[in-house]
Amino acid sequence: MSSPPPAERDAADAAAKAREQEEQAALPYKWTQTVQDVDITVTVPGNYKGKDLDVKISKSALRVAVKGGEVFVDVSQAGSQGKEQEKRNGHKRGSVTE
């Protein structure tokens, strides 16, 4: 079996990249990854401080919510696509490091 011609391969790569960007844009969070680090950005309303939030990150789940209240992101590997809840009306950004 031979490789596809370069033009066909380039078109397939461009289509895959466009599909990935579309999928990422639909998520209630943004993430980037290197070999050593994963950066996750979740936008929440600016009236909340870090101490107001309940942030849980594990190998199979991500959850960001107001303590005892509104959920901004809830994603789990329980299903093939996971479960997502989102709110897109915020302006504050923060970070969590372990």
Q: What is the CATH number of the domain that holds 20?
A: 2.60.40.790
Is 90 part of a structural domain of the chain? no
Q: Specify the DSSP class assigned to residue 6.
A: H
Residue 9 CB contacts under 8 Å (≥ 6 apart), including other chains:
3
Is 95 part of a structural domain of the chain? no
Reported as a single tens digit per residue, the pLDDT across 75-92 is 887 543 333 333 343 434
Is 51 part of a structural domain of the chain? yes
pTM of the model: 0.55
Is 27 part of a structural domain of the chain? yes
Q: How many domains does the chain have?
A: 1
Is 31 part of a structural domain of the chain? yes
Is 84 part of a structural domain of the chain? no
The token pair at 27 is 């998520």
Contact 55, 68 (CB under 8 A): no
Q: What is the mean pLDDT of each run of 10 residues along the chain (98 residues)?
A: 84 91 84 85 87 89 89 72 39 42
Identify the domain containing residue 68 by its residue range: 6-76
Q: Specify the DSSP class assigned to residue 92.
A: B
